[in-house]
Amino acid sequence: MYSTHRFSHKHILGLADLSVEDMGLILQTAESFKEISTRAIKKVPTLRGKTIVNLFFEPSTRTRLSFEVAAKRMSADTFNISGSGSSTVKGETLIDTARNLDAMNPDCIILRHSRSGSPRLLADHIDASVINAGDGTHEHPSQGLLDLMTVKEAKGTISGLKIAIIGDIAHSRVAHSNIIGFSKMGATVAVAGPATLIPPGVEEMGATVCGSVAKAVEDADVIMALRIQKERQHDPLLPSLREYANFFGVSQKLVGAAKPDAIIMHPGPINRGVELDPKIADGSRSVILDQVTNGVAVRMALIYLIMGGD
Amino acid sequence: MVAPLLLKNGRVIDPANGLDGIRDLLLVEGKIAAVTLPGEVDGPAGVETLDLAGKWVVPGLIDMHVHLREPGQEHKETIETGTLAAAAGGFTAVACMPNTKPVNDNEAVTQLILAKAAARGSARVYPVGAISSGSRGEALAEYGEMKQAGVVAVTDDGLPVVNSQLMRRALEYAGNHELLVISHAEEPTLSQNGAMNDGALATRLGLRGIPHVAEEIMVYRDLALAQYTGRPIHIAHVSTRESVDLIRRAKAKGVAVTAETAPHYFTLTEAAVDQYNTRAKMNPPLRRQADVDAIRQGLRDGTLDAIATDHAPHSELDKDVEFDLAANGIIGLETAVPLTLRLVREGILEAGGMIALLSVNPARILGVGGGALSVGAVADVTVIDPEKEFVYGPEAVHSKSVNSPFLGWQFKGKAVLTILAGRVTYSDFPG
Ligand SMILES: [Zn+2]
C-alpha cells in the first residue's frame, strides 16, 4: 500500500515532520532491510561511494553503533566525530563545525546533541542531509521508528493499540517521538508518572495523561518504561529513586493490569530495579533486544530513503 | 545656529496639551515658536516650509527602555548607531539600561555615556543607573553620585533583584535622590535555564519553559514593596495577563506604580519561536494570545502607561546558535511606530493615546522634559506618515544589529521626519 508513496524529505529531524505515509514507507523499507542482517554476508553495495558522518556531541555508544552498522551494511563510508574530540570544545560553534564538515562533501550527517533544535540549525546551514540521532529533550526519531517497527512486528498492527508510556515524559526525547509516532499511526498513547515529569501540553502531542500508573497500564498492549534521572539542573523533581521505584516503577503487579499478551519496552539503558523490575526486563514479554535489532534496520531505511532510494 | 522650520498643515497630536487638529508649527532657534491654525503664521523670510498634509506632527517620541551596548559591546551597537536607529524610528530621546560592560553603577560610566551621546548622538540619551553595585544584587549602588552625573532612574535590568530586602532598601534610598526604581520582574528559580514561554509549544520543541508566574510573583512582590515603602515603582516589559491585572488592582488601591510593555508583547505570541527562531527569543518570553489580548486591553484602559521597545541588539554570533544558547532580546526602535499604528487601525488605541504612550507618559514617568509641543518648549518633533507602506528589510535597519522577528514584514505607517532641538536627525521626506 505504500509502494506508490515517494519519500520527499531531505532531513529527518523529528516524527512531527513525517506523515503517516512517510512512516509507513520507512517501516516497510526497514522490514525489507532486516533480512540483510540475517545473511551470512551482511552487506549490500547500495550506498557504495557515499559518505556518512556520525557527529556525536553526547556520549552514546548504542545509537552511534547502530547508525554505523546500518551505514556499513549498505557499504557507505562512515566517519565518527565525537564531542570531546571535536573542535566545538575549543569554542567553535556548531555552525562552524558543520560548515567545515560540509566542505568535505559528506552525503549525510547524523547528529546527536544535547541542545533541542540543533539538527534544525545544522540543516539550515549545510548542504548534506541531516538525521537527528537525538537532540536535547526534543525528539529521537529513529528510536521512535524502531519502536513502531518492534510493536508492529509483535502485534501485526499499530492502529487501535493502547501504548502506556511510564516515567519521565518531560525530559525524554524518546517519549516525545513515540507519542507523536504512535498517535499518528492510530494508537492510543497513555502517559503517567510523577506530575513533576509530565510536561505541560503533552496532550497536544497526542498523549492522554493518566493520574496513576495503574490507570495508564490498564488494558495496555504495550508498556514502555523510560529511564529516570533523579534531578536535572537543580530542579528537585523527585524525592529519591527508591520512592520512584516504589510508586512509579513498572512491577510484576502492574504488568498484571495490562492485556495478557502485553509487551514490555525500554529505550535503554535500563536502571534495573528503578523504572523496571529486572524480572520483567529479562522476561518473556520483553522485546527490548528486538528493539536493538530493529534499530539497525530502521536506520538503514532512513539513510537509504533520504539518499534518494525508492 | 539651527535654521527655522515651518511645518504646515499637519495633524498635530499633542496629548499633553489636549490638542488634536490641523495646525502649523513654527520652529525657531531650536524651540517651538508658534502653534497656530493653518496659515496664521509665516515665520521669518525664506523659512524652509514643509507641507505636512496627511501627516501627523507629534512630540518627539521617547523610548524609556533601550540597550545601547556601549561601553563594552560595541560590536552589537554603539551610542552613535543606537541613537541613529532611534531617530529613524521617530524617537528623539531614549533611556539606556545600565547592563553595559562595565555596568553603569557609577558616575564615570554615566559621564562616558553622556559624553558619547553629546558628541555623536542623534537623540537625547538618558542613562539609567544600576540598583546594585555591579548589578550583582548585593549592595546598593551610589545613587547620589550617579544622579549628579545624570542618571534618571535605577534598575538592574536584564537581571531581577532577587533579594527582597535589597529591593526594599533601593526603593527607600532612591527617594533621597528622587530616582525612579525600575523593576525587571522575574523570579529566577522558576525561570532559570528557560528558553521560551512554558507550555505545549515548549514541550513540543523540547525547550525548557519559563512559566508566566515567574514574572507575576516578582510583579506582586515589587508592588507590595512599593506600597509598603510608599515609594513609586515602574514595572518594565510587562508580558502577561496576570501582571496587567496585578498592576490594575494596585493602581486602584493607590499604589504609585507605572508600567511599560513592548510592541512585541502586543503583537506576537510564542508561536513566533517555532522552528527554533532565535530572532523571537527574548526575556520575558513571548507569551500566548490571552496575554497579548490583556496587554492590548491594559494599553487601552491606562493600566500600562508606556510603550518602550526594550531595544536589545545582538550580533549573528549571539543569535545563530542553538536556541538554548542564543542571546535574549530583539531590536525594536525602528518598528515601534508601525507596530503601534496597527493598534490604532484596529481601534484599540486612539491616535492621541498612542502618542501619549510613546512621548508624554514616559517623559513624566522618568521626570525628564519633552513629550509636549508647547510654545517655548525645545523643538523635539516627530512627523509620522500613517499611510506610508514599506517592507522592513535588513538593508533598511539603522541599528548595528538586525535581530528582529519583524524582518520581511509589510508595514503601513512610519516616522518620516525626526527633529531634535530644531535639527533634522532623520528624514524620509517627502516620501
Ligand atoms: Zn529587563
Band (A97; pLDDT cuts 50, 70, 90): confident
Place of cell 513566533: B272
| CB-based contact, A94 to chain B, within 8 Å | yes
* Catalytic residue check, B310: yes
Task: Using the mean position of ligand 1's atoms as its centre, give its distance from the Cα of residue B339 in Å.
Answer: 20
Selecting from A93, A120, A205 the residue whose C-beta is nearest the C-beta of B203 gives A205
| CB-based contact, B316 to chain A, within 8 Å | no
Single out the residue of A119, A123, A140, A124 nearest to residue A60, CA to CA: A140
Selecting from A115, A120, A136 the residue whose C-beta is nearest the C-beta of B275 gives A120
Query: To the nearest whole percent, how much of chain A has pLDDT over 70?
Result: 94
| CB-based contact, A140 to chain B, within 8 Å | no
Query: Residue type at B271?
Result: A
Residue intervals in chain A for CATH 3.40.50.1370: 15-140+292-306, 141-290
Residue A230: per-residue pLDDT: 67
Residues of chain A contacting B207 with CB distance shorter than 8 Å? 116-117, 136-138
Contact A55, A81 (CB under 8 A): yes
- Which is catalytic among the residues B63, B310, B318, B380? B310
Write a three-state SS string for chain B: CCCCEEEEEEEEEEHHHCEEEEEEEEEECCEEEEEECCCCCCCCCCCEEEECCCCEEEECEEEEEECCCCCCCCCCCCHHHHHHHHHHCCEEEEEECCCCCCCCCCHHHHHHHHHHHHHHCCCEEEEEECCEHHHCCCCECCHHHHHHHCCCEECCCCCCCCCHHHHHHHHHHHHHCCCEEEECCCCHHHHCCCCEECCHHHHHHCCCEECCHHHHHHHHHHHHHHHHHCCCEEECCCCCHHHHHHHHHHHHCCCCEEEEECHHHHCCCHHHHHHHCHHHCCCCCCCCHHHHHHHHHHHHHCCCCEECCCECCCCHHHHCCCHHHCCCCCCCCCCHHHHHHHHHHCCCCCHHHHHHHHCHHHHHHHCCCCCCCCCCCECCEEEEEEEEEEECCHHHCCCCCCCCCCCCCEEEEEEEEEEECCEEEEECCCC
Query: Which one of B316, B322, B323, B324 would you mutate to disrupt binding with A, by most A Cβ within 10 Å of its Cβ?
Result: B322
| CB-based contact, A178 to chain B, within 8 Å | no
Residue A102: per-residue pLDDT: 83
CB pair distance less than 8 Å for A16 and B199: no
| CB-based contact, A228 to chain B, within 8 Å | no
Residues of chain A contacting B321 with CB distance shorter than 8 Å? 93-95, 121
| CB-based contact, A200 to chain B, within 8 Å | yes
Q: Residue B274: closest CA among chain A residues belongs to which residue?
A: A117
Selecting from B199, B324, B325 the residue whose C-beta is nearest the C-beta of A200 gives B199
Q: Which residues of A100-136 are buried (b: 16+ CB within 10 A; e: fewer)?
A: ebbeeebbbbbbbbebbbbbbbbbebbebbbbbbbbb
Residue B431: per-residue pLDDT: 46
Task: Using the mean position of ligand 1's atoms as its centre, give its distance from the Cα of residue B283 in Å.
Answer: 7
CB pair distance less than 8 Å for B202 and A200: yes
Task: Using the mean position of ligand 1's atoms as its centre, give its distance from the Cα of residue B347 in Å.
Answer: 29
Query: Which one of A121, A143, A177 would you mutate to disrupt binding with B, by most B Cβ within 10 Å of its Cβ?
Result: A121
Place of cell 532641538: B421
pLDDT in tens, A195-205: 999 999 999 99
Q: Does domain A15-140+292-306 have CATH number 3.40.50.1370?
A: yes
| pLDDT over 60 at A89, yes or no | no
Give the number of A-B residue pairs with CB atoms closer than 8 Å. Answer: 78
Residue A242: per-residue pLDDT: 93
Contact A55, A101 (CB under 8 A): yes
Mean pLDDT across the stretch A135-164? 97
pLDDT in tens, A220-270: 999 999 998 766 667 889 989 999 999 999 999 999 999 999 999 999 889
Q: Which option is the CATH number for A141-290: 3.40.50.720, 3.40.50.300, 3.30.1220.10, 3.40.50.1370?
A: 3.40.50.1370
Q: Residue A180: closest CA among chain B residues belongs to which residue?
A: B204
Selecting from B192, B198, B206 the residue whose C-beta is nearest the C-beta of A173 gives B206
Single out the residue of B385, B305, B362, B307 nearest to residue B58, CA to CA: B385
Contact B414, B384 (CB under 8 A): yes
Query: What region does B283 belong to: left with phi over 0, alpha with psi -120 to 50, or beta?
Result: beta
Residue A1: per-residue pLDDT: 46
| CB-based contact, A97 to chain B, within 8 Å | no
Contact A153, A35 (CB under 8 A): no
Residue A88: per-residue pLDDT: 52
Provide the mean pLDDT of chain A. Answer: 91
Residues of chain A contacting B324 with CB distance shorter than 8 Å? 115-117, 136
Residues of chain B contacting A112 with CB distance shorter than 8 Å? none
| CB-based contact, B318 to chain A, within 8 Å | no
| pLDDT over 70 at A106, yes or no | yes
CB pair distance less than 8 Å for B206 and A136: yes
Residues of chain A contacting B209 with CB distance shorter than 8 Å? 200
Task: Using the mean position of ligand 1's atoms as its centre, give its distance from the Cα of residue B205 in Å.
Answer: 25
CB pair distance less than 8 Å for B321 and A121: yes
CB pair distance less than 8 Å for A136 and B276: no
Selecting from B200, B323, B324 the residue whose C-beta is nearest the C-beta of A201 gives B200
Task: Using the mean position of ligand 1's atoms as its centre, give its distance from the Cα of residue B327 in Å.
Answer: 13
- Predicted structure pTM score: 0.94
CB pair distance less than 8 Å for B321 and A93: yes
Selecting from A115, A170, A205 the residue whose C-beta is nearest the C-beta of B204 gives A205
| pLDDT over 80 at A84, yes or no | no
> Would you call A298 helix, strand, or coil by DSSP?
helix
Below-70 pLDDT ranges, chain B: 430-431
Predicted-complex ipTM score: 0.91
| CB-based contact, A176 to chain B, within 8 Å | yes
CB pair distance less than 8 Å for B276 and A120: yes
Contact A181, A143 (CB under 8 A): no
| CB-based contact, A115 to chain B, within 8 Å | yes
Domains annotated for chain B, with CATH where assigned, are: 5-57+376-427 (2.30.40.10), 59-366 (3.20.20.140)
Start-end of H helices in A35-90 = 61-73
Q: Write out the three cell numbers for A170.
A: 518531560
CA B306 – CA B308 distance, rounded (Å): 6
**CA end-to-end distance (rounded Å), chain B:** 27
More confident site: A207 or A93: A207
Q: Residue A125: closest CA among chain B residues belongs to which residue?
A: B320
Task: Using the mean position of ligand 1's atoms as its centre, give its distance from the Cα of residue B364 in Å.
Answer: 20
CB pair distance less than 8 Å for B321 and A94: yes
Task: Using the mean position of ligand 1's atoms as its centre, give its distance from the Cα of residue B372 in Å.
Answer: 27
